Chains A and B, each alone.
Chain A
Amino acid sequence: MERALGAPKVAGSKGERARAVQSASRSRWGETETVMAARRLNRAAGTLAASVLVDSAVEHYRGSFKNKAMFTPLVVAGLTLAMSLHGTADMRPVAHRARDTSYLLAAATGLLGTGFHIYNVTKKVGGLSWQNVFYGAPLGAPMAILLSGLLGFCSERVRANGRQRPRRVFNLPAGETVATVTALGLLGTTGEAGLLHFRGAFHNPFMAVPVTLPPIGAGLLAGAVLNGGGRTRRLARRWMRLLTAMGFIGVGFHAYGVSRNMGGWRNWSQNILDGPPLPAPPSFAGLALAGLASLELMREARDA
């Protein structure tokens, strides 16, 4: 993750770029933490984008791409993923125009997608009913690409701080801002998981895990923002690691869920569509990675 994947492009004129490249190689120690923090956020945004990419591919394939707009999240999430990989590899302390654009595009897609999904649900007979929020277009799903875009955009802002302390995004303290976005994202994603696990009647007790651990994580992040003590941050950090693990272990549980459908994995082409979505749980991991990045930013800002 820490290794640069070739020379990335940097926003700005030729001269600026040359200086940026120089500074990246010369005066590392001043900006290293800034770049590290930004790359962590790129990584978080990328994890979320990967989850969205696969999830929307499966779900919209299931919906036969009835509407051409259903290709949008695939393209945008793919692009966001690529840009995030690029950012994760990029060691330079300067924001990058293409990454910026694609992150903004992702956020806009998330908002637009949410609109589409709300329209899809409310136009069905019964309107905003349990039936339609269970089985219509998932209201919360496009939020994941919005979050990916937001985190990525924050990442670029963090990077742009260079050696400046404390780091800021949108003129707000960086760590606190990212932590707040992450906490809200965790709560929203919990809502989504809660809704779908309620649809599955919590038939397996483990289905309660992703609706209990993440809100606690959100609370710990909020605690870290509000009281800022080292102890809270350390606990929050451990919790974020737990959530990262949960996000990946969740795929295993969902794979088990797929196996419980008629025909099991032998009938994978049908059951991957009908069973619990394999790519969904890692969106928690993506958010938890963002949480870790935000805690690091707060530590550096406060303990420095």
Chain B
Amino acid sequence: MSDDPRHAPRARHGRAPDVFRPGGWVSMKEYADHETVDFVIVGTGAGGATLACKLAEYGFSVVALDAGPYFRPLEDFASDESEQTKLYWTDDRIVDGDNPLQLGSNNSGKAVGGSTVHFAMVSLRFRPEWFKARTKLGYGADWPIDWREMWAYYTEVEQALKISGPVNYPWGPPRPRYPYRAHPLNAAARALARGCEALGIGWTETPLATLSAPRGLAHPCVYRGFCVTGCSTNAKQSALVTWIPRALSAGAEIRDLAMVGRIETDANGLAAGVHYHRQSKWHFQKARNVVVAGYAIETPRLLLNSANDKFPDGLANSSGLVGKNLMAQANQAVWGEMDEEVRSYKGPPSLAITEHWNYEDEGKDFFGGYAYMSQGPLPQLWANTQATAHGLWGARLVEEMKRYNHVVGLKIVGEMLPQEHNRVTLADELDQYGLRIPRVTYSWCDNDKRLIDHSIAFMSRALGAIGTKNIWVQEDDTCHLNGTARMGDRPDSSVVNADCRSWDIPNLWICDGSVFPTVGGANPSLTIQAIACRTADRIRTLSRLGEIRLN
């Protein structure tokens, strides 16, 4: 196929790309802009795609729009880090604060399938206590959802994505067996394991959303390790190859290269539809319900950009919390060199994990927890890391890269606390669509720093215990954005309720990582998808009770 999905939309004329067959198409239901659909969903990532699929399967009419292209992984993805930057959301944004976030590759995607197209596939459940972090653990905020309910939805998502995981998971309450078996460990993962055994803590194979056996037309993983630049075999169970095909066959419409600029409200203060930009024109899609699922920066940005006379501070913002409590996750690493070859880039990057410090509270001088995982940086990323962290360039960088095959590293996903001054606001600058761009302000608090220090000290010991040489610390990295439209029990202290329904506008929903009141020390996507499944079930129940606008 010669067409470039970044320039012309592919999902049109009653068909969408068949991601499993080169050049193939599947039929797609289409709605006209003036047809009022039950749900219009903004964003087709972990939250949006899951919800689109489930709602369509429950018989609602659904249109899901995404600003990004509709890729065909078998054809469009190259084993080339530079080429694959096309997956990232790199539109203009302003970052500030004491610890400005580095946006783009490590935290946001722009594609049908959202960030899951290039995510690292780590699929963890939250520790049950985190859902009541304030009452049980004394920090952050409580979620309005019970962990037992979440446990069932986690199972649903694990089945839907055929997660490959260990036969027995060592932490937390029992969970059903993962649908697929764990992948073989690479040398980097075995290094993590040996470090854990040396320090006397548990470790296991990481539950991953990539296939260890065939599934339909999707091939099993080939262990080449290009995961965070997009998987060209369809082994990775991204939203693009799981929820989206299901959504299409259930009758949902996907609109690619469709950037939503504003949500319209009617005279009654209800959402009426969305204005979106596609093929050089602005359009308006009418809808009975609007769901925002644009991820933790674009979601508040859209709500704020949709301010009107009735809602001068932006939609769903009577609490003033839209955009606030942005939480990244700490992503510090400790690196070193082994005498033997490691070739850490072989296979998915994080094949082994320890959640010890997520579940153990003794001996911590901070709130929250962290997991740490083995790492497999691709060469260009590694050269960049060396250039930025050590200022290496030219001959010295070349010399350092000769050691690349011996590099071993451990990296955390660490909990950062919600703080109101970490937030997304609107800058005055405009982007290519003429929309105000987001300003993202971020500063670590003392607790964040203590957690980071603890993890660095511990991981350094773990690497030291297995004979790693030249250990050094990469201090400034973050990943995964959440918060900015938190869910809660009360309209004055949250933006949405447990059903992801906004308190202010009953037919406006938010269903993505923005709704997290806390982030825990686990990668968020499984939780985002579990919440989307729950939201779909709640919408079905509420619609049966006549509590949802459907006419």
Chain A contacts to B: CB under 8 angstroms: 124-126, 130-131, 134-135, 198-201, 203-204, 257, 260-262, 274
Contact = CB atoms under 8 A, between A and B. Distances in A.
B213 A130 contact: no
B181 A125 contact: no
B219 A131 contact: no
Nearest to A136: B184
Interface stretch (B119-127, B190-198, B489-497): B190-198
B142 interface: no
Given A130-B166, A261-B214, A262-B233, A199 B193 contact: no
A138 B355 CA distance: 30
Interface of B: 162, 166-167, 179-182, 184-185, 190, 193-194, 197, 205, 212-215, 219-220, 222, 233, 235
A125 B167 CA distance: 17
Nearest to A204: B214
B213 A200 contact: yes
Contact of B205 (A131, A198, A257): A131
Contacts of B233: 262
A90 to B, nearest CB: 44
A125 B194 contact: yes
A125 B182 CA distance: 15
A201 B167 contact: no
Contact of A135 (B184, B194, B220): B184
Given A130-B167, A131-B184, A131-B205, A203 B215 contact: yes
A145 B212 CA distance: 29
Contacts of B166: 130-131
A201 B213 contact: yes
Nearest to A135: B184
Contacts of B184: 131, 134-135
Interface centre among A134, A200, A261, A262 (most CB of B within 10 A): A262
Contacts of B181: 130, 134, 198-201
A260 B220 CA distance: 8
5 contacts: A124-B190, A134-B181, A200-B212, A201-B180, A201-B212
Contacts of B162: 201
Nearest to B222: A262
A203 B190 contact: no
Nearest to B74: A262
Contacts of B182: 130-131, 134
Given A201-B179, A201-B180, A262-B219, A125 B213 contact: no
Nearest to A197: B213
Contacts of A126: 193
Top 4 nearest A-B pairs (CB, nearest first) are A260-B214, A135-B184, A262-B219, A200-B213
Given A200-B212, A201-B180, 20 more contacts: A126-B193, A130-B166, A130-B182, A131-B205, A134-B182, A135-B184, A135-B185, A198-B181, A199-B212, A200-B181, A201-B179, A201-B181, A203-B213, A260-B214, A260-B219, A260-B220, A262-B220, A262-B233, A274-B220, A274-B222
A134 B213 CA distance: 13
A124 B186 CA distance: 12
A267 to B, nearest CB: 10
A3 to B, nearest CB: 43
Contacts of A125: 190, 193-194, 197
A126 B205 CA distance: 11
A125 B195 CA distance: 10
A131 B181 CA distance: 9
Contacts of A199: 181, 212-213
Given A125-B197, A130-B182, A131-B205, A203 B222 contact: no
Contact of B220 (A124, A130, A134, A261): A261
Nearest to A207: B213
B139 to A, nearest CB: 34
Nearest to B218: A260
B163 to A, nearest CB: 11
B185 A257 contact: no
B284 to A, nearest CB: 43
A125 B193 CA distance: 7
A204 B220 CA distance: 13
A99 B197 CA distance: 49
A31 B403 CA distance: 71
A203 B233 CA distance: 18
A124 B193 CA distance: 10
A126 B185 CA distance: 11
A126 B351 CA distance: 14
Contacts of A274: 220, 222
B165 to A, nearest CB: 11
A135 B351 CA distance: 14
